[in-house]
Chains A and B, each alone.
Chain A
Amino acid sequence: MDSKQERELHKNAKELINQISVVLRTSQIHDANNVALASSINRLVAMINAMVSQENILVLELRGEFFYINEYRIRYSLEYLLNFDFMVREFKKRELGNVTFKGQIRADDIKAFIKAFNDASFSQEPFNTIHDEMTNVRNIDVGILKKVVEDDALDVRKMVKKTYFNAVSFTQGVINKIKSGEKVNIKKAKRVVESMVDQILEEEQMLLGMTAIKDYDEYTYHHSVNVSILAIALGQRLGMSRRMLTELGMVSLFHDIGKMDIPNDILNKPSNFNDDEWNIIRKHPVWGLRAILKLKRFDDLTIKSAIVAFEHHMNFDLSGYPKIRRGIKLDLLSRIVSLADQYDAMTSARVYSRIPLSPDKALSIMMERAGTQLDPLLFKFFTNMVGVYPIGTLVMLDSRELGLVCESNQLFPNRPRVMIIVNDAGTRTKGTVIDLTEKNDKDLYIRSIRKTLDPNKYNINLAEYLL
């Protein structure tokens, strides 16, 4: 989005969503006659009417985790992050999918909407409550939140898989090409990463799910792609632009490129490394920097990639490797990649570490490292992204069902979506996905996680469920 007009529209749209959030939040504290609320409403009315007079109609729609205004997707804005999250949560809670403003809006119209919106939070059928109460408000229409159609979901899953495997195959090709001295196609690399960025923006959970499957033979290539996906997803949470996300994805994809210089007999050694072998392993960041600088002419991306390849094991407190003479501050991209790298490595069965950790266990170890090895602020965002129970976590529910976390919930981090693999009768099952935010008539959660188990201990092949 480059033109001035488009930038203006995007800015107005962001401010509009923020203002609606402000009005709704204020209305939850103050009554309709409060001066602060009235003033917020007046401002919102002015904003809506200004946009309606320009565009004739104003449709605010929630699709997935994103708001669209008149079909324009409004990207997360860091300054309004909390208010955007609030809006997503509250709309979802009420199954409210869209609000259409037609003609000139009055303050009373907004007040009616606020009342309906707030009344719905106590209703068993929240959307119907809003819909019924808004029937008499001519200038505002509301629509129900659209569920993802099963067939569409299947198509999307197919695309996500394709993106993932294309990326792995490409990474394998890159390494082979570098090893044989061939030229690497950076244009293709960008395309691969752009596809991943698109998927993260549209289908974050599905692509993250792909990273949870650790049963592949070619760890190195999958690891590079997994780190790239996790880093992009985290970058997205940090409010990075698409261009920044692409850069982040690229630098992550090449972060371990120095490992190609590690002799295969060390890399594939099935037992623990001795000191000499560790010394060689510890050289891969330096080799990585060298490999990247040899790959192509210097430009911004080469420089960023080289820095990340060098720094990704140095640790936040510089306690890692390589050791350097001058004190430096780790690059933001390096700190992100370091998090993603540690998480994926810990949860993977590598050649030299056959026993992977369960996702939640890995997360708790990382928590101990936050502030020393890992950037504490980024870790906070990371845990908010993957949830308390990351995708791939094996959970026993209080309903006597055994399941795998298949989708985290950013609004309710301890209430992910779970795929049941053994039902309450003790029978194996496959495919039923339940949402732990579901409540019964008494407004109590139907199911909760009672304990987590280590899927590796039972050789559970996540691919069978998550692919």
Chain B
Amino acid sequence: MEINEDLKAAKEIVQSILRAKKIIRMYPANNPIYVKTIEDCFARFSDYFNYREDLVLKIRQNEISWESEQVYASVEKEENLALFFFKDGLREVTFKRGLSSGEMEDFLKIIAMDFERDIVDDDIVTLLWERDFQNIQYIADDAMLADEDTYQDRTLEEIEERSNDPDNIMKAYQDAFSEQDISSEASIAPLSDADLQQLMQMLDHEGSGKTEKLVDLLFELPYLSETRADFEELTVFFTSASEFVMQSGDLVIMNSILSRLSGLIGEPHIDDEIKKYFRRVISYAGGSTIIKLLGEILDSGQEIEDKVVEEYVRYLDKSAIPPLMNVLGELESIHARKIVIDALIFLGPKDITSLAKGLNDARWFVVRNIIYIFRKIADKRAVEFLLKTVRHTDIRVRKEVIRALGELGGGGVFQTLRECLEDQEPQIRSAALRALGTVASEAAKRIILDKISDKAFKDVDFDEKKEYFEVLSKWKDKDVFAFLVELLKKKPFLFGSAKMEEIRACSAYSLGLLGNKDAMPILTKFKGDASKLVREFSYTAIKRLEHGQ
């Protein structure tokens, strides 16, 4: 390869590095564009190394050169590859033949990092150093590390001024003959295999348990703190530690922090003023930052025992309800949502009003979850909030709230349920009917009986009719029995007889469901009815009664 061709190849490599730096930031590693960029870049290196041992790039502020020839130049402040390397002190990068695709990709990943973000504690030189590439070497200028340019010279000058007094040295020499022999009292014990074994165990454990240790030390600080400012600061440490352990997914340590803080709050000899600081930390643990992190833990798929989450929730107060509801809408996994729902079921009774605010959430599934939580809490105070949700735009929410109203019951729900029985949506009518069945009160029964007795009922769809009778059968009393027998006996008018026969058939069906064997004679009688539908339903009801189903 001629020198000009080499120069061209070096330029192309720099351009492909620049391109790859952008692409890596934009695409995930499995994206075809990413893969192709890496392949192209490596192909350029491979072509170059067919003819050369290494590629040495010298870096200046706005220029990269190869064998004194400029291969890149830019005066931009952003997106300037030369400046990007230069500002961290990189002055030369050498790629050696033998460079593997993996090494090259790792190098590109390093330079593609967003170093402007605070969270990155390393500069490019540190990352290259840590990666310890076998085939990528670099030279970095460390002069920028000194805080004072002239420190070394100044210090050395000062030392020189104190140069040795020859007399002192000669005195030492003479004394060495007169003083008694003193050899070092220290001795070197040879290292044994047992020492090495012990050391290996030590190193194996190094790195683990540091957070727990720090937490232990933080819990020493209350006893080593003196001023209000010390305690203020300690509060910040605890909140930061809480954030850190949650970021690390360590809910067990979080629980330990909360448990120990609760213990301190319970200590009679600790001043109430100081306890306020500890309460603040506990409150923070149920705040939006920590709860958001909890959501991330739960959604990460990390295995976590239910009892650990339950313990954490036990330490929280009602202020955790809003952030928990917020995170509920963001969670992706069903299991995670179940855990948060359980947490809200636990915390909800502490502040029903806060929980009710979740009913206004824009996300239908959150509203449905909140209604479910109210159902599980089973606090009748929730009814007033739920009633406002009955007209929700999403039918799934409406069904859930009607169900909840049925479970919670109380006088306030009947009017709404009655109205729902007239709803245009069959699913809502069905939900309201079943809710009335769940209420199971006389008033509820009356609503159903009135509805069936209404003239218009005969025009109701057969399946819906059947559902009414099914629900009615939940009241296993004489009134219902008599009502049903009466209906079964009713002679159909000529006009509209088919609709009436449906009602009679449903009555037979409901008698079967009631389980009262007193209905056997009448059912047996109508087993031979002229209407095929009545015959069939009477027969089925008899069988049901015979088999006690």
A interface, size bucket: 35 or more
Given contacts A186-B121, A428-B170, A460-B168, contact A298 B156 (CB under 8 A): no
Residue A34 at the chain B interface, CB threshold 8 Å: no
Residue B494 at the chain A interface, CB threshold 8 Å: no
Could you tell me the distance in whole angstroms from the C-beta of B44 to the nearest C-beta in chain A? 20
Q: In the complex, A459 Cα to B169 Cα: how many Å?
A: 8
Q: Which of A36-44, A94-102, A143-151, A235-243 lies at the interface?
A: A235-243
Instruction: From the candidates B103, B173, B184, B233, name the one contacting A294 in the complex (CB within 8 A).
Output: B233
Residue A437 at the chain B interface, CB threshold 8 Å: no
Flag if A3 contacts B102 (CB, 8 Å): yes
Instruction: From the candidates B143, B159, B173, B211, name the one contacting A463 in the complex (CB within 8 A).
Output: B159
Flag if B145 contacts A192 (CB, 8 Å): yes
Q: Which of B193-201, B385-393, B406-414, B431-439 lies at the interface?
A: B193-201
Flag if A467 contacts B152 (CB, 8 Å): no
Residue B162 at the chain A interface, CB threshold 8 Å: yes
Given contacts A458-B168, A460-B168, contact A450 B130 (CB under 8 A): no
Point out the residues of chain B lying under 8 angstroms from A461, CB to CB: 159, 162-164
Q: Which of B72-80, B216-224, B279-287, B317-325 lies at the interface?
A: B216-224
Point out the residues of chain A lying under 8 angstroms from B129, CB to CB: 194, 198, 242
Point out the residues of chain B lying under 8 angstroms from A294, CB to CB: 233
Flag if A190 contacts B126 (CB, 8 Å): yes
**Chain A, 321-354, contact with B by CB distance < 8 Å: what is the 0/1 string?**
0101110100111000000000000000000000
Flag if A402 contacts B186 (CB, 8 Å): no
Residue B214 at the chain A interface, CB threshold 8 Å: yes
Could you tell me the distance in whole angstroms from the C-beta of B339 to the nearest C-beta in chain A? 25
Residue B148 at the chain A interface, CB threshold 8 Å: yes
Could you tell me the distance in whole angstroms from the C-beta of B244 to the nearest C-beta in chain A? 4
Flag if A5 contacts B183 (CB, 8 Å): no
**Chain B at the A interface: SS class:** helix
Q: In the complex, A453 Cα to B132 Cα: how many Å?
A: 44
Flag if A166 contacts B146 (CB, 8 Å): yes
Flag if A377 contacts B199 (CB, 8 Å): yes
**Chain A at the B interface: SS class:** helix
Flag if A81 contacts B151 (CB, 8 Å): no
For window 169-198 of B, CB contacts with A under 8 Å fall at 169-173, 175-176, 179, 181-189, 191, 193, 195-196, 198
Point out the residues of chain B lying under 8 angstroms from A78, CB to CB: 196, 199-200, 203
Residue A215 at the chain B interface, CB threshold 8 Å: yes
Q: Which of A131-139, A260-268, A381-389 lies at the interface?
A: A381-389
Point out the residues of chain B lying under 8 angstroms from A162, CB to CB: 142, 152
Given contacts A294-B233, A307-B210, contact A459 B165 (CB under 8 A): yes
Flag if A191 contacts B147 (CB, 8 Å): no
Flag if B176 contacts A396 (CB, 8 Å): yes
Residue A422 at the chain B interface, CB threshold 8 Å: yes
Point out the residues of chain B lying under 8 angstroms from A286, CB to CB: 221, 224
Flag if A422 contacts B217 (CB, 8 Å): no
Residue B379 at the chain A interface, CB threshold 8 Å: no
Could you tell me the distance in whole angstroms from the C-beta of A2 to the nearest C-beta in chain B? 6
Residue A187 at the chain B interface, CB threshold 8 Å: yes
Q: In the complex, A239 Cα to B126 Cα: how many Å?
A: 21
Residue B516 at the chain A interface, CB threshold 8 Å: no
Residue A452 at the chain B interface, CB threshold 8 Å: yes
Minimal Cβ-Cβ distance residue in B for A239:
B203
Point out the residues of chain A lying under 8 angstroms from B169, CB to CB: 402, 421-422, 428, 458, 460
Residue A168 at the chain B interface, CB threshold 8 Å: yes
Residue B100 at the chain A interface, CB threshold 8 Å: yes
Point out the residues of chain A lying under 8 angstroms from B182, CB to CB: 451-453
Q: In the complex, A246 Cα to B126 Cα: how many Å?
A: 10
Q: Which of B143, B179, B202, B224 is most buried by chain A, counting CB atoms within 10 A of its CB?
A: B224
Instruction: From the candidates B122, B152, B205, B233, name the one contacting A161 in the complex (CB within 8 A).
Output: B152
Could you tell me the distance in whole angstroms from the C-beta of A461 to the nearest C-beta in chain B? 5
Residue B269 at the chain A interface, CB threshold 8 Å: no
Could you tell me the distance in whole angstroms from the C-beta of A387 to the nearest C-beta in chain B? 7
Residue A414 at the chain B interface, CB threshold 8 Å: yes
Residue A316 at the chain B interface, CB threshold 8 Å: no
Flag if B210 contacts A303 (CB, 8 Å): yes
**Chain B, 114-153, contact with A by CB distance < 8 Å: what is the 0/1 string?**
0000000111011001111010000010111111100110
Q: In the complex, A393 Cα to B205 Cα: how many Å?
A: 36
Point out the residues of chain B lying under 8 angstroms from A422, CB to CB: 169-170, 172-173
Residue A310 at the chain B interface, CB threshold 8 Å: yes
Instruction: From the candidates B176, B206, B219, name the one contacting A453 in the complex (CB within 8 A).
Output: B176
Flag if B102 contacts A242 (CB, 8 Å): no
Flag if A388 contacts B162 (CB, 8 Å): no
Could you tell me the distance in whole angstroms from the C-beta of B215 to the nearest C-beta in chain A? 10
For window 444-467 of A, CB contacts with B under 8 Å fall at 449-453, 455, 457-461, 463-464, 467
Instruction: From the candidates A307, A367, A388, A452, name the one contacting B214 in the complex (CB within 8 A).
Output: A307
For window 395-425 of A, CB contacts with B under 8 Å fall at 396, 402, 413-414, 421-422
Residue B155 at the chain A interface, CB threshold 8 Å: yes
Point out the residues of chain A lying under 8 angstroms from B132, CB to CB: 1, 242
Residue B303 at the chain A interface, CB threshold 8 Å: no
Flag if A307 contacts B244 (CB, 8 Å): no
Minimal Cβ-Cβ distance residue in B for A361:
B185
Flag if A306 contacts B214 (CB, 8 Å): yes
Given contacts A299-B244, A307-B214, contact A293 B237 (CB under 8 A): yes
Residue B243 at the chain A interface, CB threshold 8 Å: yes
Flag if A467 contacts B217 (CB, 8 Å): no
Could you tell me the distance in whole angstroms from the C-beta of A418 to the nearest C-beta in chain B? 13
Q: In the complex, A190 Cα to B89 Cα: how many Å?
A: 13
Minimal Cβ-Cβ distance residue in B for A286:
B224
Could you tell me the distance in whole angstroms from the C-beta of B459 to the nearest C-beta in chain A? 70
Q: In the complex, A465 Cα to B11 Cα: how many Å?
A: 49
Point out the residues of chain A lying under 8 angstroms from B151, CB to CB: 165-166, 168-169, 172
Flag if A377 contacts B195 (CB, 8 Å): yes
Could you tell me the distance in whole angstroms from the C-beta of A301 to the nearest C-beta in chain B? 7
Flag if A331 contacts B213 (CB, 8 Å): yes
Q: In the complex, A72 Cα to B133 Cα: how many Å?
A: 10
Flag if B179 contacts A453 (CB, 8 Å): yes
Instruction: From the candidates B179, B188, B205, B233, name the one contacting A387 in the complex (CB within 8 A).
Output: B188
Flag if A458 contacts B220 (CB, 8 Å): no
Q: In the complex, A79 Cα to B110 Cα: how many Å?
A: 32
Given contacts A215-B162, A380-B191, A422-B173, contact A191 B89 (CB under 8 A): yes
Residue A103 at the chain B interface, CB threshold 8 Å: no
Residue B106 at the chain A interface, CB threshold 8 Å: yes
Flag if A173 contacts B147 (CB, 8 Å): yes
Residue B240 at the chain A interface, CB threshold 8 Å: yes
Q: In the complex, A223 Cα to B160 Cα: how many Å?
A: 20
Residue B166 at the chain A interface, CB threshold 8 Å: yes
User: Apart from A303-B213, A453-B179, A458-B175, what 15 extra A-B contacts exist at CB < 8 Å?
Assistant: A1-B134, A78-B203, A81-B191, A169-B145, A191-B125, A217-B158, A286-B224, A294-B233, A364-B186, A366-B186, A383-B189, A414-B188, A426-B173, A428-B169, A451-B182
Can you name 16 A-B pairs with beta carbons within 8 Å?
Answer: A2-B102, A72-B134, A163-B142, A191-B126, A194-B125, A289-B221, A290-B237, A306-B214, A326-B216, A360-B185, A363-B186, A383-B187, A388-B188, A422-B173, A458-B169, A460-B168
Interface residue ranges, A against B (CB under 8 Å): 1-3, 5-6, 72, 78-79, 81-82, 161-163, 165-170, 172-174, 176, 186-188, 190-192, 194-195, 198, 213, 215-217, 238-240, 242-244, 246, 286, 289-290, 293-294, 296-301, 303-304, 306-307, 310, 322, 324-326, 328, 331-333, 360-361, 363-364, 366-367, 377, 380-381, 383-384, 387-389, 393-394, 396, 402, 413-414, 421-422, 426, 428, 449-453, 455, 457-461, 463-464, 467
Interface residue ranges, B against A (CB under 8 Å): 89, 100, 102-103, 106, 121-123, 125-126, 129-132, 134, 140, 142-148, 151-152, 155-156, 158-160, 162-166, 168-173, 175-176, 179, 181-189, 191, 193, 195-196, 198-200, 202-203, 205-206, 210-211, 213-214, 216-217, 219-221, 223-224, 233, 237, 240-241, 243-244
Which 8 pairs, one residue from A and one from B, show the smallest C-beta to C-beta distance? Answer: A173-B147, A364-B185, A165-B152, A169-B151, A298-B244, A396-B176, A360-B184, A363-B186
